[in-house]
Structure 1
Amino acid sequence: MKTIKVNIVTPDGPVSETEADMVIAATETGEIGILPGHIAMVAPLQIGALRLKKDNSTVSVAVHGGFIEVRPDVVTVLAQNAELSTDIDIDRAKRAAKRAEEALQAKSDKLDAQLMELDLKRAITRINVYEMK
Structure 2
Amino acid sequence: MADITVQLVSVDRMLWSGQASIVTAQTTEGEIGVLPGHEPLLGQLAENGVVTITPVDGDKIVAAVQGGFLSVTADKVTVLADFAIFANEVDVAASESELSSEDDLTKSRAEAALAAVRRNQN
TM-score (norm 2): 0.85
Shift of 1:15: 1.2
Residue 118 of structure 2 is aligned to residue 127 of structure 1:
no
Instruction: From the superposition, tell whether residues 31 and 41 of structure 1 become closer, same or farther in structure 2 (CA, over 3 Å).
Output: same
Residue 39 (structure 1) aligns with: 39
Q: Deviation string for 1:36-69 (max 9, x for gaps)?
A: 0111111111021111124695321101010010
- Secondary structure, counterpart of 2:88 in structure 1: helix
Unaligned runs of 5+ in 2: none
Amino acid at match of 2:7: N
**What secondary structure sits across from 1:95 in the alignment?**
helix
Distance in 2 separating the partners of 1:96 and 1:24 = 26
Q: Which has the higher helix share?
A: 1
Q: Which residue of 2 aligns with 1:87?
A: 89
Q: Distance in 2 between matches of 1:79 and 1:9?
A: 6
* Overall identity of the aligned pairs, in %: 31
Aligned residues: 118
Cα distance in 2 for partners of 1:59, 1:9 equals: 13
Alignment of 1:1-133 (within 5 A): 1-46=1-46, 47-54=48-55, 57-99=59-101, 103=102, 116=104, 119-131=106-118, 132-133=120-121
